[in-house]
């Protein structure tokens, strides 16, 4: 065989291989169960699978080659167009990282449809050369969420009244207003009081969630000392920590002032939620440390534990409503999966942020920041499922 024939054969084989590979990728793309759209590096649509066509009401021919942000209009829940820089596809392309977001797209017939969108940039030789966007219709999920919230609100209000009667009369019995009690009777009453308190806390959480979602909780800003609030929380939770022989440490770092203008009840609720989670999800004999970092422009609170950690595959869901990680569900049955959802909503209302690092070997560190300068008072806005 001559050299030329050999190289011709080789390039034919490579072309065949490339063609075979391309056909495989195409088949894979088309068979994705969710809607999928691929774009080139300029944002022009290069592929639309059947589910995407069904969800958006456009045919493949109408979309191929067009500029994605122009052909498919993205809007917010209150129908405001989302600007180009805030679109998941732009963010994924600019950062080179996958982006997940809930968003509304306008269908061809003008109808607004809620979608959970995941965009992954396609990287070749360290450069993004396009992106693939996969999306799922979450209309039903949203409706179920709305119904759940409505039910929770109604049920919580109805539970409050009988529960307060249970608490009042149990306390009266315990204090001996209805005759002397022996120690076994008193112990039984303490158990009832403990359970009633837990139920009360649960009802408060549920009511807070529904208040946040309906935007009906007002933030009342006052000058407060964050170290004092943290101290109160530590005191209240020290019994729970002692029961598990968990060392509860509290430290204040930094030279800036510990006085901040914000809502004390909300801040207390946030710290209590994070610290009680740390105690709950740390095995006996562990350590939980609360550190307040006083900085010039903000205050950062860190809560570190030596607990069971959050599995990597669950980390992006941790602030979702009702979410509990699998490693925890197996160990600790009591919990609603509402605490962190609530904490995130409350922090957003105070202009703060929350983040965490965690692994299943060493434990978890939750941190949140509160800005020193913010426009308050503000109404807590729903941490909208769609933005």
Q: Kindly state the smallest distance separating residue 199's Cβ from ligand ADP, in Å.
A: 14
Interface stretch with ligand ADP, choices 99-107, 209-217, 235-243, 339-347 (CB under 6 A): 339-347
- Taking CB under 6 A as the criterion, the residue among 88, 307, 345, 351 binding ligand ADP is 307
Tokens representing 347 are: 């922090």
Could you tell me if 112 and 139 are in contact, meaning their C-beta atoms sit under 8 angstroms apart? no
Residue 306 interacting with ligand ADP (CB under 6 A): no
Tokens representing 358 are: 């965690």
Please work out the total of residues on this chain that contact ligand ADP, with binding judged by CB under 6 A: 21
Scored b (16 or more CB within 10 A) or e, 267-295 reads bbbbbbbbbbbbbbbbeeebbbbbbbbbe
Beta strand extents in the chain (DSSP E only): 35-40, 45-48, 74-75, 99-106, 112-124, 127-137, 222-225, 247-253, 259-262, 287-294, 298-305, 353-359, 363-371
Interface stretch with ligand ADP, choices 96-104, 213-221, 262-270, 308-316 (CB under 6 A): 308-316
Residue 301 interacting with ligand ADP (CB under 6 A): no
- Coil, strand or helix: which one is 47? strand
Helix %, strand %, coil % of the chain (to 5): 45, 25, 30
Q: Closer CB to ligand ADP, residue 87 or residue 324?
A: 324
Could you tell me if 47 and 27 are in contact, meaning their C-beta atoms sit under 8 angstroms apart? no
For residue 387, the 8-state DSSP code is: -
- Name the β-bridge partners of 197: none
- Taking CB under 6 A as the criterion, the residue among 37, 272, 294, 310 binding ligand ADP is 310
- Taking CB under 6 A as the criterion, the residue among 55, 82, 338, 347 binding ligand ADP is 338
Could you tell me if 226 and 372 are in contact, meaning their C-beta atoms sit under 8 angstroms apart? no
Q: Taking CB under 6 A as the criterion, which residues in 261-290 touch ligand ADP?
A: 277-278, 281
Q: Kindly state the smallest distance separating residue 147's Cβ from ligand ADP, in Å.
A: 20
Q: Kindly state the smallest distance separating residue 297's Cβ from ligand ADP, in Å.
A: 27
Q: Closer CB to ligand ADP, residue 248 or residue 325?
A: 325
Interface stretch with ligand ADP, choices 109-117, 195-203, 227-235, 301-309 (CB under 6 A): 301-309
Residue with nearest beta carbon to ligand ADP = 339
Q: Kindly state the smallest distance separating residue 383's Cβ from ligand ADP, in Å.
A: 13
- Taking CB under 6 A as the criterion, the residue among 134, 173, 209, 318 binding ligand ADP is 318
CA dihedral 228, 233, 234, 236 (to 10 degrees): 130
Q: Closer CB to ligand ADP, residue 115 or residue 343?
A: 343
Q: Closer CB to ligand ADP, residue 115 or residue 241?
A: 241
Tokens representing 255 are: 């030279």
- Which positions from 357 to 386 touch ligand ADP by CB under 6 A, shown as an x/- string? -------x----------------------
Q: Closer CB to ligand ADP, residue 263 or residue 269?
A: 269
Displacement of CA 304 from its chain's centroid (Å): 19
- Taking CB under 6 A as the criterion, the residue among 35, 114, 130, 339 binding ligand ADP is 339
- Taking CB under 6 A as the criterion, the residue among 36, 209, 217, 325 binding ligand ADP is 325
Q: Closer CB to ligand ADP, residue 340 or residue 380?
A: 340
Of 256, 285, 265, the residue nearest 371 (C-alpha): 256
For residue 382, the 8-state DSSP code is: P
Q: How many CA atoms lie within 13 A of 95 on its CB side?
A: 14
Of 347, 375, 367, the residue nearest 267 (C-alpha): 347
- Taking CB under 6 A as the criterion, the residue among 57, 254, 335, 385 binding ligand ADP is 335
Q: Kindly state the smallest distance separating residue 242's Cβ from ligand ADP, in Å.
A: 18
Tokens representing 228 are: 């004092």
Residue 298 interacting with ligand ADP (CB under 6 A): no
Residues that bind ligand ADP (CB under 6 A): 277-278, 281, 305, 307-310, 318, 323-325, 328, 335-341, 364
């Amino acid at each position: 065989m001559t050299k030329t024939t050999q190289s011709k054969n080789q390039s034919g084989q490579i072309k065949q291989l490339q063609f075979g590979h391309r056909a495989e990728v195409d088949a894979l793309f088309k068979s994705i169960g969710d809607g999928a759209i691929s774009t080139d590096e300029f944002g022009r649509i290069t592929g639309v699978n059947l589910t995407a066509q069904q969800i958006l009401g456009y045919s493949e021919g109408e979309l191929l080659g067009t500029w994605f942000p122009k052909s498919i209009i993205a809007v917010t829940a209150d129908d405001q167009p989302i600007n180009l820089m805030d679109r998941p596809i732009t963010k994924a392309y600019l950062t080179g990282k996958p982006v997940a977001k809930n968003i509304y797209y306008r269908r061809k017939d003008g109808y607004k449809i809620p979608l959970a969108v995941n965009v992954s940039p396609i990287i070749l030789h360290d450069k993004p050369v396009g992106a693939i966007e996969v999306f799922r219709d979450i209309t039903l999920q949203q409706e179920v969420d709305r119904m759940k919230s409505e039910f929770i609100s109604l049920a919580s209000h109805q539970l409050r009244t009988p529960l307060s009667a249970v608490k009042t009369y149990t306390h009266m019995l315990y204090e001996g207003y209805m005759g002397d009690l022996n120690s076994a009777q008193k112990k039984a009453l303490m158990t009832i009081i403990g359970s009633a308190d837990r139920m009360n806390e649960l009802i408060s959480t549920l009511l807070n969630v529904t208040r946040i979602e309906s935007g009906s909780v007002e933030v009342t800003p006052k000058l407060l000392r964050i170290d004092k609030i943290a101290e109160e929380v530590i005191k209240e939770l020290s019994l729970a920590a002692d029961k598990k022989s968990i060392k509860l440490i509290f430290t204040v770092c930094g030279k800036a002032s510990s006085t901040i203008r914000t809502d004390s009840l909300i801040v207390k609720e946030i710290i209590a939620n994070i610290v009680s989670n740390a105690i709950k999800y740390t095995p006996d004999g562990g350590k939980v440390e609360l550190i307040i970092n006083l900085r010039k422009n903000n205050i950062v609170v860190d809560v570190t534990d030596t607990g069971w950690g959050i599995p990597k595959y669950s980390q992006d869901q941790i602030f979702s409503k009702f979410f509990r990680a699998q490693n925890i569900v197996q160990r600790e049955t009591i919990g609603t999966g509402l605490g962190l959802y609530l904490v995130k909503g409350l922090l957003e209302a105070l202009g703060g942020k929350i983040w965490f690092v965690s692994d299943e070997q060493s434990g978890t560190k939750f941190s949140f920041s509160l800005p020193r300068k913010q426009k308050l008072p503000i109404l807590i806005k729903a941490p909208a499922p769609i933005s």
